[in-house]
Structure 1
């Protein structure tokens, strides 16, 4: 789970950070920070989240990192770092060694003109890491950690690809947004079948359909599409024959709404999954919580120091949000999901005898 790319700063002793990424199992997280107490230098920082209390470990190297470096936590506690060095992309695994930082070099990839290589979200298996090099005509998926011989290409895909959402808990199926012939459609890539590509989202032939988030337990999909006439946030269920729905409650005036976490463990009940959303507007950033079945967006104040766009759910519906302030540089705030109150049943003005209505003449209910 990855925060949106941001840079924040507070007063004296503040820490600036560029991105906060959590492993799929929620045990570790990592970010690149710049702290006043560390000689005003950029360095990776690893958070441990699965213990009694969260704690952070700085992983400074022999020299400051560049602010365009990116980091990814691994399930074993090491941190993958991606550096851009001259005309190559370099990868290494960092880990604490007493007072210092150990580093295991993984190799480099020559940079192609017109392509920019970016790390994909953490793999569900936690032992592999992937990167995507997108070009105007085709894109290459790389295995950059977890292979036998350093970085190696996994698949070359037609079109310019972006995004990256895992569809299962084994790290086999990856969804990417592929731009081809002027249209962007989400596709599924099977990593165990040589990068075989199958369509995933095509709401209409002309629409731009991007996948934002997926829950492997229920198949709940959060997406963004202009199929309704303009860009809207919608949801559907993987493998379902029901159409994608675009809830009106997720459409806020003058605010951007971005999902970042789905409640796990709700097998066979995709509509009951709680979804956490980041809401950005001129007034600031705050939280949203929504369930498909509830059809209501709960808007909540963000805790102080929230690393906006990052967090994860527990199975029992508690949202855990990483926070950092000068007084508490490594903390997690627990936010229980608000309950959805049942909607009152409509009361008829006078008793009416029921009568069958042909399906073709049935009124639209507006149900989202």
Structure 2
């Protein structure tokens, strides 16, 4: 299983580890918030609370690691502090252990947030973005405390992993009035172009699957912001299916892994503007619409390679639950022909990017 998204709101945060073994969120109500770890690898999911003597702030972020520890990001004045939380298992004393990792000092106006879990399951990274430069920090999994691993000119947002090693990261960079997705080699600190459909278009990368190379993008190159898809390293034009255009502000949050060399068959899950769920394959010209389950932690989920979508849910009766959905095997016949997509310049120009060898 692969992690697909992190959902953060003003009242809660939820994330899933890269291998699907653990999840974490902020639980509790009002001012009594605490980190909570979900174990997903067993026959039934279960939650372990990780409270400390002082409750967590609502803007804290949590990120689960594959070893069961939970990284927490707290803001203390202008300092951003990081720590690992874990259950101690002791019969007496505190139920939660805490390992301080250090912090990052930033100036006013610099936004710091966690990036999606590293694909190796143990690395954790944060993005510090200001108007003229953005910095990627490794905050866990390194030889010491937080350290900068890449500086990118411009203001960056987003964050999508392009490989399984946790070295290649895609960010959406705003520079000179336009936003383009770039590839960042965290090993070398190098930045390369990734998406450039037209010179003036805003081209953002929303999701990627390293197995198949499937890319989900949002671009205004067709005349207005639309969802599209392409294949990493391919010279074929991006497609902007009409069935996705009819969804308005839908956002993809999960993609099916394990479909090597078959991006058209990958299942994609989308959060629809009204809060429901859309299921779609690039080979289809139809989106299957499903009502969101009660208590769905909206915008999060993970696919199995076999095509089953797992959605985390929390209700008063079942505070830790996973609902499984199957992607329908046979799509309905197409009824709308996709409009032509821009074909020049190449929509995924990776000739000079670190992924050119794919």
Superposition TM-score, scaled by structure 2 size? 0.89
**Correspondent of 1:278 among 264, 271, 274:** 271
Which residue number in structure 2 is paired with residue 207 of structure 1?
201
**Correspondent of 2:112 among 104, 117, 124:** 117
In structure 1, the gaps of 5 or more residues are: 8-16, 346-363
**Correspondent of 2:211 among 217, 223, 238:** 217
Cα deviation, 1:53-104, whole Å, max 9, x if unaligned, reads 0001110111011111111111100000111112211110000012610000
**Correspondent of 2:318 among 328, 340, 347:** 328
**Correspondent of 1:247 among 232, 235, 241:** 241
Alignment map for 1:181-330 (pairs within 5 Å): 181-193=176-188, 195-252=189-246, 255-281=248-274, 285-330=275-320
**Correspondent of 2:49 among 51, 54, 58:** 58
The question of 1:339 aligning with 2:329 is answered yes
Alignment map for 1:74-223 (pairs within 5 Å): 74-98=65-89, 100-193=95-188, 195-223=189-217
For the aligned residues, what is the CA RMSD? 1.8
**Correspondent of 2:9 among 6, 11, 18:** 6
Match of 2:264, SS state, is helix
Determine the C-alpha separation between the residues in 1 that align with 2:331 and 2:55.
52
Alpha-carbon spacing, 1:113–1:321, altered in 2? closer, same or farther (3 Å): same
On the 8 A contact 2:102/2:145 being kept in 1, the answer is yes
In structure 2, the gaps of 5 or more residues are: 342-358
Alpha-carbon spacing, 1:365–1:60, altered in 2? closer, same or farther (3 Å): closer
On the 8 A contact 1:294/1:340 being kept in 2, the answer is no
On the 8 A contact 1:94/1:101 being kept in 2, the answer is yes
Determine the C-alpha separation between the residues in 2 that align with 1:366 and 1:267.
27
Alpha-carbon spacing, 1:328–1:59, altered in 2? closer, same or farther (3 Å): same
Match of 1:256, SS state, is coil
> Which of structure 1's runs of 4+ aligned residues deviate more than 4 A?
364-368
**Correspondent of 2:38 among 42, 47, 69:** 47
Q: Which is higher, the Rg of structure 1 or of structure 2?
A: 1
Which residue number in structure 2 is paired with residue 68 of structure 1?
59
Which residue number in structure 1 is paired with residue 355 of structure 2?
none
Superposed displacement of residue 317, structure 1:
0.8
Determine the C-alpha separation between the residues in 1 that align with 2:228 and 2:270.
13
Cα deviation, 1:219-263, whole Å, max 9, x if unaligned, reads 00001000000000000000111111101101236x421100111
On the 8 A contact 1:219/1:237 being kept in 2, the answer is yes
Cα deviation, 1:111-149, whole Å, max 9, x if unaligned, reads 222201110000001111000110111011101111122
Alpha-carbon spacing, 1:75–1:179, altered in 2? closer, same or farther (3 Å): same
Cα deviation, 1:196-222, whole Å, max 9, x if unaligned, reads 111100000000000000000010000
Determine the C-alpha separation between the residues in 2 that align with 1:181 and 1:47.
43
On the 8 A contact 2:149/2:187 being kept in 1, the answer is no
Which residue number in structure 2 is paired with residue 349 of structure 1?
none
